[in-house]
Each structure stands twice: as structure tokens, then as C-alpha cells.
Amino acid sequence: MAKFSKSDNCKNCLDCNMRIPMLSTLSRPELIELNENRFEVKFKAGETIFKQGTSATHLLILTTGLAKLYVEGVQDKQLIIRIIKPWEIVGQASLYFDNRHHYSIAALNNTTACFIEINAFKKAIQANTLFAEEFIKNCTQKGIFSFEKMVSLSQKQMHGRIADGLIYLSGKVYEALNFDLHLSRQDVADLTGMSKDSAIRILKEFHNEGIIELDGRKLKILNYAQLERISETG
Amino acid sequence: MAKFSKSDNCKNCLDCNMRIPMLSTLSRPELIELNENRFEVKFKAGETIFKQGTSATHLLILTTGLAKLYVEGVQDKQLIIRIIKPWEIVGQASLYFDNRHHYSIAALNNTTACFIEINAFKKAIQANTLFAEEFIKNCTQKGIFSFEKMVSLSQKQMHGRIADGLIYLSGKVYEALNFDLHLSRQDVADLTGMSKDSAIRILKEFHNEGIIELDGRKLKILNYAQLERISETG
DNA sequence: GTAAAAGACTGATAAATATCGATTTGTATT
DNA sequence: AATACAAATCGATATTTATCAGTCTTTTAC
């Protein structure tokens, strides 16, 4: 199970400063304050990091590994909103609302997570305008991302949605055309809003048509332009 | 066409203070500054207030009327994100991002819109932490709303989506069980992510089953509990 | 007041997608 | 290596949803 520890790549918020653009607006004393209100936990693949509905007391930053952020919808179905990578601040949604988690987060592989106390974070927002502005910027970007996702989910057919999913994974998550997928087929389905069987079918189709090469979880995008075309035509 | 004017119910930001919770955190001089950087425009039903893709120079507050906020998706299809009511601040998404409108807004009836210069607004955020926090609160609430919408659009069938749409209109927009709908059937379809014909069919079904009474655009919700049940079961 | 246009509606059909059952493959454990 | 178990796969079928064509109704324009 998850246990406390100090990882090698996250000893101090003063270092994280370099990796997380938002934190670079904070002063040294502010970073020290933040550092005193944080701790780390390791998670194994599959373990739940945040559970939807529980009370939100901390923000989350992964320092190693990947995780999926999803909402629990109707009949136990999951909708994966996005994949969390290291050095991304997660959990803002609850900061100024009802202090509840409105989504769950589960580790996709072995991860290390840094938890920052919510009030320490709020304090920084109140004290540092630049930081607050960075925070707002972050929120609004996510809002725009949400719009695109809604269009994809509600107006595109399966081919377009799978194309969108692959473009997202390749462009935003792995930043490569050739990568080892951490998502199961079910996860791909939950990311693109369809049944597992349908996701498998479309992926196989793309494979057969030479758009991608998919062997187990080894994924290579062969024709990115074609994916973009499919994404646009829906 | 739209023309400049001073409406009776929005003479001065100092008064709006009372109606818009977020503005109540501003000081008198801050409100005066805001007031100097705003103007009003009247729109007729159907006119476009913001157009997706154009540059965002102002925030919007309706003082009378209703409008639909929608993104232009694939093949000219619209996805209505939400309905805009008076005294709601709109346009935050672009504030700190790329200064582009990422959605369009069109008047549903004759409306009066107050435009506030973006930089005046930013200035207030920088100068007033409470105001910034209110702003963040606003953004995060919208984020949570987005999640619910995504679940509805991607995981529920047509009956569930129409139920969600009706619950939204009744609970959040009109705040009544009995109201004159400003949306066309096509708009209802665009709000719930389905074809116009399907929307008409489900509405008629609900009417026949005694869940609603629908005559033209006069809508009365007869069995709210049943709508909630349909929403939950998808 | 009448013609024209737009919106609302309906049944039949076609297309998209989910579900089911059965099989195969891969992975972890002993 | 053998077993157990989860994940992936695939064809057949059922369900959901969109599309289309045509009619009816309401509103708009002159």
C-alpha cells in the first residue's frame, strides 16, 4: 500500500520552483512556507490517489509516474477527463468551492505524489498577485480544454473521438509519436466516451489502415496528418 | 442593428455592485475606474454578441434579456454550453489566455449588454485579492459544471440528456416550473447534444407521459421527481 | 390579408454504436 | 512450466440515434 517517503527528485519546494512555472512566481519565504505544509506518498499502479466525493484538504503534484483524472458517471462508468503528468498542479477545482473532490485520480503506474495543504496554497494566492494570476490562467486554460472535449464527445463519431484521443496522448501526454501506452483499452474507451469493444475495433481499424501501429500497448503513430483529418471531419 | 445607449437598469457600476456578488468586493474607487471603462449595447433576438475566434477585448454582463453561449463544433453544429442571464460575468476564459473568444454568444431575445474593458478588469484583479479570489471561485465552479455536462453528454442516452436539459433550464435559468422557453427546438437539441428531430421526439414523449406540458414554447414541468429519476438512470 | 418562409412535427429507413458470448492472448503466481 | 486470472479480441446481434421526406403550423413580410 501507499507509504510515506522522501523521493529523490522532490526534496524541497525550492527546487520544484524550477519545474513548475506557476511556483516560479513565489518568493523564497513563500516557497519555504509551502514546503513546510507538504508531504509525499507513493502509489502503486491502479491505486486511487483522490476519490470523488471525499473532502479535499490537499492539492496534488505528481513527481514521478502518470495518473488518470476521471469522473464517476452513470452506472459505474468512468469518464477520463485528462491524464496527469509530473509537475502539474491538480485539485484546483475544489479550492474555493465546497472542499470536495469532484473527480477521482488513480495511478496508471507506480507514482510519487506530493500533497500540498490547501490553506498554505490559498495563503500564497492571497499574498502574491502574480501567483494568483498564474492560477487563474491555469483555470481558464482548462476551461477551454473542456469545451474542446465536449465538442469531441458530443459531436464526433467514434473515429473522430479516437483520433482526438490519440492526438491528445501523443501531443500532450507522451510528446512523442512512439510510446508505451499506460492506458488499458478500457481506459482508452473511457477517455473517448465509447464502449471498450468499440474502442478496440476502431484502434484495430486504424492499425489495419496503416495510420497507427499497435502491438499490445506499444503504440506508434504512422500518419499523424491523417489522424488530424479524421479528427476534423468528425 | 445593435446601437449604443444608456439603459435604465444599468447606469453605473456602483449600482451593479448590489446585483453582482463578485463586484461587491471592489472598493468605491475601483468601481469608478471600472465604470469609466465600460459601455452598453442593445441586441435584438438572434444577433451575435461575441463571435468565436474574434479577439476578446471586453467582458460581458447582460443587464436585460437572455443569451446562449455556444461553441461552434464540427460541420456548423453548435454545442450550447450554457444560457447567460443578467448579472453574470462572461468572457473570463480568454482573460489570461490568448485574448480570443473560444465561444460565441447570441441573444435569445432583445437584450442589453454591458461591456467592460478587459484591462480594467485585470487591474482590479491585481489590486484586490478578494476580487481575485471571487474570480477564481467563479472559474472553478464552471469547471465542475463542465464535468457534469461532459458526463451527461457522453454517458447518458437521449432521455437522460433531455431530462438534464430541462432540469437545468428550470432550476438554473428560469428558476420556475412553468415558463416561456426562449430556446427553439434546435437550441434544445444543441444544448443536449442530439439532432433536432430526436429532441422533438423525446419532448413529445415526455409530454405524452405527463412529465411535462409543452405547447409551442410554453413549458410546464409536471413531474420534476420523474425527470430527476430519468436523469440519474441515464 | 395573403403569400412566403421558417419552425415544428412524424413515420420510415439507414447508420452508428453497444452488447453479448465465446475465444485468445498476455501476465502474474506458484 | 503449469495454473489462474485479467485483458484483449472478434463476430453476430440488438439497441440507439440520425437522417430523410413529407406534412402541418406558426410567424413574418409585403
Interchain contact, A93 vs B232, CB within 8 Å = no
Whether A17 shows a pLDDT value over 60: the answer reads: yes
Return the DSSP state at B174. S
What CA–CA distance (Å, rounded) separates A67 from A63?
11
Domain B13-128 fold: Jelly Rolls (2.60.120)
Domain B152-233 fold: Arc Repressor Mutant, subunit A (1.10.10)
Q: Which residues of A touch B136 (CB under 8 A)?
A: 95-96, 125, 132, 135-136, 139
**Across chain A, what does the average pLDDT equal?**
88
What CA–CA distance (Å, rounded) separates A87 from A116?
13
Domain ranges across chain A: 3-128, 152-233
Whether A4 shows a pLDDT value over 70: the answer reads: no
pLDDT in tens, A134-154: 888 888 999 999 999 999 999
pLDDT in tens, A59-101: 999 989 999 999 998 888 999 999 999 999 998 877 888 889 9
The separation, in Å, between residue A83 CA and nucleotide D10 C1' comes to 29
pLDDT in tens, A26-71: 778 777 777 777 888 889 889 999 999 999 989 999 989 999 999 9
Architecture of the domain delimited by A3-128: Sandwich (2.60)
| Mean pLDDT within A160-179 | 95
Query: What are the residues facing A42 on neighbouring strands?
Result: A3, A112
Whether B33 shows a pLDDT value over 60: the answer reads: yes
Residue % of chain A over a pLDDT of 70: 92
Whether B1 shows a pLDDT value over 50: the answer reads: no
Return the DSSP state at B108. S
Residue A188: nearest nucleotide (C-alpha to C1'):
D8
pLDDT in tens, B65-100: 999 999 998 888 999 999 999 999 998 877 888 889
Name the residue among B137, B142, B151 with its Cβ closest to that of A79: B151
Return the DSSP state at B3. -
The separation, in Å, between residue B216 CA and nucleotide D25 C1' comes to 10
Same fold, B13-128 and B152-233: no
What CA–CA distance (Å, rounded) separates A24 from A29?
12
Interchain contact, A139 vs B139, CB within 8 Å = yes
Whether B113 shows a pLDDT value over 50: the answer reads: yes
